[in-house]
Structure formats: structure tokens, C-alpha cells
Amino acid sequence: MNEPHVRGRLLLVPTPLDFGIHNHGPSPDLQQILPLGVIRQAAALTHWVAENARTARAFLKRVDAIVPLAQPLRALHVSELPRPAKGVKDPQPPDLDALLAPALQGQDIGLVSEAGLPGVADPGALLVQAAHRLGVAVLPLPGASSLLLALAASGLNGQSFAFVGYLPVEAAARAARIRELDALSRRSRQAQLLIETPYRNPALLAALLTHLQPATRLSVSCGLTLPKGWTRSDSVAAWRVRHSPLPADVPAVFALQAA
């Protein structure tokens, strides 16, 4: 009798939060961010799917400095997730089955995004859906998630919270959304987490301080896991009195909770 075909797994591999951040000191030691067991599992993989192949190879170079890779870096198979079509209102979901072909042939595949845990405030969820549909086991590996680190450091409600992603860029729509989130947080007693492209961080902070109620608590975590990373959690009224400037080239997580 033939042995049943064993499928590989899709491993969700977290990456450090410092990719793309320049002029803010050296990158932290990878072993301070990821467990050694995760680094060893990453080193053993020969097939990868990444948001960006160049960033993925930079991550694997750091892995190789701690645990030698199973194959030379140039020999690893790194495929990129399809990028969303710009200007298309209702784009068709991409066909991701081909990216999972190695798993159907028995090879484990690593999935990485630009920073943090893929599929959480980062691309990758559609590939995970496809893996489940094809019967490929999905294994998330432990590591840094900027959202949870920021929530833990905020002192806001960790029992009930929502991640609402990016706010509108247009000023009037953004103001309306901020007031909506403030009211929702007040009704539900729920913390609301949001992010922005780093160069828009100062503008978002200014909008939050303008349109949130004075008693609402606002927490900002900037440069998490970096040597000079920080979190400030205070009332909007106190933020208005003592402003904390935000760099425009370092990721930040914003959290609010109405009084």
C-alpha cells in the first residue's frame, strides 16, 4: 500500500519591527526580538512567500548570522505576494494556489511580511485562507506584534479593543472618523487602535489632538523594540499642554479610549 502523501505546512514567521528604519541606531539583536526556536525554524526553511523579497532576504541574512541557513541565501526560493491593484474599486482576489505548490509537494513554506506577524495589520491573510482551503496546515510562530505591544504599554482596555487600521487622508473625512471612533469607544468602553504611514504620523497626531474629547486617553507607541522606542499614554488635554513630537520616519501605533 502506498504511503499517504504528506503535505508541508505554512509557517507564519514574525520579523523584527525595525526594517526600513534608518538613522535611529543599530538594529536590535535578533535574539532579543525572536525566540531562538523561531530563528532555528526559519533557518531550516528553503521556500518562502514574502511581501517584499528584498526585505525577506535581509531578514534571512540576520537569521544566518545566528543559525546557518539550510541552503545559501541565493539558493532559497522566495516568491512575492501579489500587490493589490491600484485604483480598482472591487478587485478580484488573486489566485494564490501556485504559491502553495511546494507545500502540496511536502515542503514547509515560510510567510513573512515587512515587520511583525504576517496577516495582522500586514498582508498575508488571503494566503492563509488559501492554505486552509487546500488542506495545508498553518502554524503561527511567536514573535513581536506592534499592535499587542502598544496595547500592553498603553494601559488602555486590553479586555476589549479593536484595530481599525488607517484613517482617511482627506481632512474632513479623517476628522469625522476620529469623532466616530471617540463616540464608539465611549459607548462600548473599548480601546481603538490605529496606524499610519510614518511620514503622516505628525499630521495624524495633530488631527487626533484637535478632534478627540479632552478627557479621552491617547496612547502613542513609537519605534517599538528600537533602543530609543517609547510609549506615552495621557489624556488629550495633557497632550495639548505638553506636546510630544513624532518622527516622520519611524512606525507608530496610536490607541485611544474615551472616558
Grade residue 6 by pLDDT with cuts at 50, 70 and 90: confident
What is the spatial distance between Cα 94 and Cα 36, in angstroms, rounded to a whole number? 34
- Answer yes or no: same fold for 9-140 and 146-257: no
Q: Report the CATH number of the 146-257 domain.
A: 3.30.950.10
pLDDT of residue 22: 55
Which of 107, 48, 122, 119 is closest to 79 using CA atoms? 48
Tell me how far apart the alpha carbons of residues 141 and 38 are, in angstroms, rounded to a whole number.
7
What does the pLDDT average to over 56-73? Answer: 96
Predicted confidence band of residue 19 (pLDDT cuts 50, 70, 90): low
Q: What pLDDT, on a 0 to 100 scale, did the predictor assign at position 68?
A: 97
Please tell me the predicted confidence (pLDDT) of residue 2: 47
- Domains of the chain, residue spans: 9-140, 146-257
When pLDDT is cut at 50, 70 and 90, the band that residue 157 belongs to is very high
Look at residue 88 in the predicted model and tell me its pLDDT. 59
Residues in Cβ contact with 184 at an 8 Å cutoff, skipping those fewer than 6 apart: 190, 192
Segment 107-128, tens digit of pLDDT: 999 999 988 889 988 889 999 9
Which CATH homologous superfamily contains domain 9-140? Answer: Tetrapyrrole methylase, N-terminal domain (3.40.1010.10)
Please check the confidence at residue 66 and state whether its pLDDT lies above 90.
Answer: yes
For the chain, give the mean pLDDT: 91
